[in-house]
């Protein structure tokens, strides 16, 4: 019967930095990349030994530029990886050379420990322990398997009793920590009464999964749980699992060893292909555009710059040199319009940008008082900031601002319309979908201020805001822009006719 930890899952906000740390610095193998099984629009990365063996896996959900969480009660606070005992000095040297934050060496529970911080601030302990790898990695000092996790709880006795269900028994205690021991690893239960509660988000560990022999073992565990611990079985393709929270609040998973990560990839090819969960196969092409891209160690990469708008690139395999800048609608994000833009121009590089106004708790481009009244100072401030972003991005990434196509939907299209009026000449080609005039006192443009600009405006015939669109069109036309204004059979939502019209318009440009 297998025992011990199957995997540990964390949340990262920077996929490239995460890959650089776990596959680059630590030398783990990226053994699987998938869309999330709960949310396929969320990238899920699996690191482990050479074959992704249960007990070696550290996985990450990618919330690119997502909100930070807080480590606290009811949470896995740190993970521990076993490394050869005589390699601790080598790892200390590596950490210092790579400028990875490191503490130690320390002695904890009779073991030599280095405590590192990954790029998100998650604590990763390297523990000198002679635990052989099921499938060794090429680097002789690479981590061999998971050594353990630390859980913070204010109900330590109840948490210990619950962990015992998964094949753990009491081990040595040290101060506020009671160690629970399986045949292969440990769980340290820390009495953290008085700490703040955990907050889920990037830079935290979401859950720890314990090994189950098979689906029958999962069903038996489910039946053994009390009525107050409801859970359901889940098919994750690579394993079956159930989730439950222990009395202290930490999310636990029980996961089968099989069928394993090699079920859909040859061992030599593990981690090379992006897989989409079977239930999302119909939108696989869209998801491959939405999910963030990254480079493995040694692969060519495109550095990202820290500019004042969150942004993301999608670079197609056969890029033609063109770039489309994308501005989402209310409640969207930088990836929302990428599938649409990819259909319009399959070989264009896509630059998605995220609005910065979150007054209502959702992403927007500027504040509003109600559906048709906008904060004029904020409109102008964000238009100025976006104009600065485009100039900075052009310098940082070697883009020709005169060759960019801008595509905006709803609130994003509204900002583009304002930018064109306030900063004439900056935007040469724009597709504005469901745009309206948001400037109450638009500037009086000179007759040919927008003479080099071409604009496609797509208005929905049933759009409740359609009456506000013509004012924007007139302002752009009065400034000399070549305006192609079309009305399609739609409300405010996107429709296939938007794709057809935008494709046709760009093809004739």
Q: Using one digit for the tens of pLDDT, what is the confidence trace for 57-116? A: 999 999 999 999 999 999 999 999 999 999 999 999 999 999 999 999 999 999 999 999
CA distance 301 to 309: 21
Mean of pLDDT values over 225-247: 86
Which of 113, 220, 116, 265 shows the shortest CA–CA distance to 174? 113
Helix (H) or strand (E) holding 422: helix 411-422
- CA nearest 1: which of 214, 218, 219, 162? 214
Burial classification of residue 168, based on how many CB atoms lie within 10 Å of its CB (0-12 exposed, 13-18 middle, 19 or more buried):
buried
CA angle 378, 336, 316 (to 5 degrees): 120
Where b means 16+ CB within 10 Å and e means fewer, 145-160 reads bbbbbbbbbbbbeebb
| Residue spans per domain, the chain | 5-280, 307-507
Q: What is the DSSP string of 153-193?
A: ES-HHHHHHHHGGGT-EEEEEETTEEEEE-SS-EEEEEE-T
As beta bridge partners, residue 485 has 457
Confidence category of residue 508, pLDDT binned at 50, 70, 90 = confident
Three-class secondary structure of residue 506 per DSSP: helix
Helix (H, G, I), strand (E, B) or coil at 478: helix
Q: Identify the sign of the CA torsion 382, 384, 385, 391.
A: positive
Residue partners of 269: CB distance under 8 A and separation at least 6: none
**Structural tokens at position 310:** 């969150």
Q: What is the pLDDT of residue 402?
A: 86
Q: Does residue 361 register a pLDDT over 80?
A: no
* Cis peptide leading into residue 105 (ω within 30°): yes
> Which H or E run contains 341?
helix 338-344
pLDDT range class, residue 225, cuts 50, 70, 90 = confident
pLDDT tens, residue by residue, 7-31: 999 999 999 999 999 999 999 999 9
The answer to whether 258 and 211 are in contact (CB under 8 A) is no
Residue 281 has what pLDDT?
93
pTM for this predicted structure: 0.95
Rounded average pLDDT over 460-485: 96
Measured CA to CA, the distance from residue 224 to residue 219 in angstroms comes to 9
Q: Is 213 helix (H, G, I), strand (E, B) or coil?
A: coil
**4: number of Cβ within 10 Å:** 21
% residues pLDDT > 90 (the chain): 92
pLDDT at 230 over 70: no
The second-level CATH assignment, the architecture, of 307-507 is 3-Layer(aba) Sandwich (3.40)
Average pLDDT over residues 327-345: 97
CA 335/CA 302 separation, integer angstroms: 18
* Cβ atoms 143, 128 nearer than 8 A: no
CATH top class, domain 5-280: alpha beta
DSSP secondary structure string for all residues of 343-409: HH-TTSEEEEE---B-TTSS-BSS-EEETTEE-HHHHHHHHHHHHHHHHHHHHHHT--GGG-EEEEE
Confidence of residue 371 (pLDDT cuts 50, 70, 90): confident
What span, in angstroms and rounded, lies between the C-alpha atoms of 326 and 206? 31
Please state, in angstroms and rounded to a whole number, the distance separating the CA atoms of residues 385 and 504.
Answer: 31
Burial tier of 96 (Cβ tally within 10 Å: 0-12, 13-18, 19+): exposed
CB environment 183-203: b (16+ within 10 A), e (fewer)? ebbbbbbbbbeebeebeebbb
CA distance 32 to 51: 10
Q: Which residue has the tokens 């204004």?
A: 485
pLDDT (tens digit, 9 = 90+) per residue, 269-299? Answer: 999 999 999 999 999 999 999 999 999 999 9
Cβ(136)–Cβ(96) below 8 Å = no
Backbone angles phi, psi at 331, to 5 degrees: 85, 0
Beta bridge partners of 239: 259
| β strands within 391-471, DSSP E | 405-409, 429-433, 454-460
Q: Is the Cβ–Cβ distance between 26 and 56 less than 8 Å? A: no
Contact 313, 290 (CB under 8 A): no
């Amino acid at each position: 019967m297998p025992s011990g930890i199957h995997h540990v899952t964390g949340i990262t906000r920077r996929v490239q930095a995460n890959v650089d740390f776990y596959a680059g610095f630590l030398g783990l193998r990226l053994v699987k990349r998938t869309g999330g099984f709960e949310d396929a629009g969320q990238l899920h990365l699996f690191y482990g030994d050479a074959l992704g063996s249960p007990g070696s896996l550290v996985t990450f959900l990618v919330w690119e530029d997502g909100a930070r969480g807080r480590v606290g009660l009811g949470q896995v606070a740190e993970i521990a990886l076993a490394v050869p005992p005589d390699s601790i000095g080598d790892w200390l040297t590596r950490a210092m050379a790579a400028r990875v934050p490191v503490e130690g060496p320390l002695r904890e529970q009779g073991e030599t420990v280095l405590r590192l911080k990954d790029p998100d601030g998650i604590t990763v302990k390297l523990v000198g322990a002679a635990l052989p790898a099921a499938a060794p990695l090429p680097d002789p000092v690479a981590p061999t398997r998971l050594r353990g996790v630390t859980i913070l709880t204010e109900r330590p006795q109840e948490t210990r009793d619950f962990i015992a269900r998964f094949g753990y028994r009491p081990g040595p205690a040290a101060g506020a920590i009671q160690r629970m021991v399986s045949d292969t690893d440990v769980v340290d239960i820390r009495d953290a009464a008085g700490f703040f509660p955990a907050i889920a988000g990037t830079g935290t560990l979401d859950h720890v999964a314990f090994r189950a022999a098979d689906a029958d073992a999962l069903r038996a565990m489910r039946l053994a749980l009390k009525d107050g611990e409801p859970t359901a079985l889940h098919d994750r393709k690579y394993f079956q699992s159930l989730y439950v929270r222990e009395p202290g609040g930490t999310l636990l998973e029980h996961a089968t060893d099989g069928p394993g990560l090699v079920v859909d990839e040859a061992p030599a090819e593990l981690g090379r292909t992006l897989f989409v969960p079977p239930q999302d196969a119909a939108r696989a092409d869209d998801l491959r555009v939405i999910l963030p891209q990254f480079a493995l160690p040694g692969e060519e990469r495109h550095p990202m710059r820290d500019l004042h708008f969150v942004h993301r690139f999608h670079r197609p395999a056969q890029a033609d040199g063109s770039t489309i800048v994308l501005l989402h609608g209310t409640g969207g994000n930088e990836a929302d319009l990428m599938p649409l833009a990819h259909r319009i121009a399959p070989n264009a590089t896509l630059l998605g940008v995220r609005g910065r106004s979150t007054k209502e708790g959702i992403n927007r481009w500027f504040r509003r008082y109600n559906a048709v009244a906008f904060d004029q100072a904020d409109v102008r401030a964000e238009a100025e900031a976006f104009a600065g972003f485009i100039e900075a991005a052009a310098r940082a990434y070697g883009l020709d601002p005169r060759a960019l196509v801008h595509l905006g939907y709803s609130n994003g299209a509204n900002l583009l319309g304002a930018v064109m009026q306030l900063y004439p000449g900056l935007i040469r080609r724009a597709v504005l979908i469901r745009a309206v005039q948001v400037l109450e006192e638009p500037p009086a443009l000179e007759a040919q201020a927008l003479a080099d600009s071409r604009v496609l405006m797509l208005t929905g015939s049933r759009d409740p805001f359609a009456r506000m669109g013509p004012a924007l069109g007139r302002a752009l036309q009065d400034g000399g822009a070549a305006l192609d204004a079309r009305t399609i059979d739609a409300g405010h939502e996107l429709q296939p006719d938007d794709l057809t019209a935008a494709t046709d318009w760009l093809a004739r440009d």
